[in-house]
Amino acid sequence: MVIRAAYQDPRALQWLSGRAGIPAVALPYTVGADAQSGTLFALFDTTVARLLAANAGAK
């Protein structure tokens, strides 16, 4: 899996993900970085959910 912060340019991540055939996932970088990450616990929940979803898609 290739991971990037939401504020990073996705082009390199997409290129590497496509070449390597592995999933790419963007993670929120701080509380409030996206609509789902309004609290610290929500940030953790969002991060874990995205990682699990990317891992499930890779199988």
User: Residue 5's beta-bridge partner residues?
Assistant: 27
C-alpha to C-alpha distance for 58 and 24, rounded to whole angstroms: 10
Percent of the chain residues past pLDDT 70, beyond the cut: 97
Going from N- to C-terminal start, the domains of the chain cover 2-58
Task: Report, as an integer, the average pLDDT of 7-36.
Answer: 91
Containing 25, the helix (H) or strand (E) segment is: strand 24-27
C-alpha to C-alpha distance for 53 and 48, rounded to whole angstroms: 8
At 35 the pLDDT is 87
User: Which pTM was predicted?
Assistant: 0.79
pLDDT digits (tens, 9 = 90+) for 39-59: 999 999 999 999 999 999 766
Q: What is the DSSP letter of 7?
A: T
The two three-digit tokens of residue 34, written as one number:
């996206």
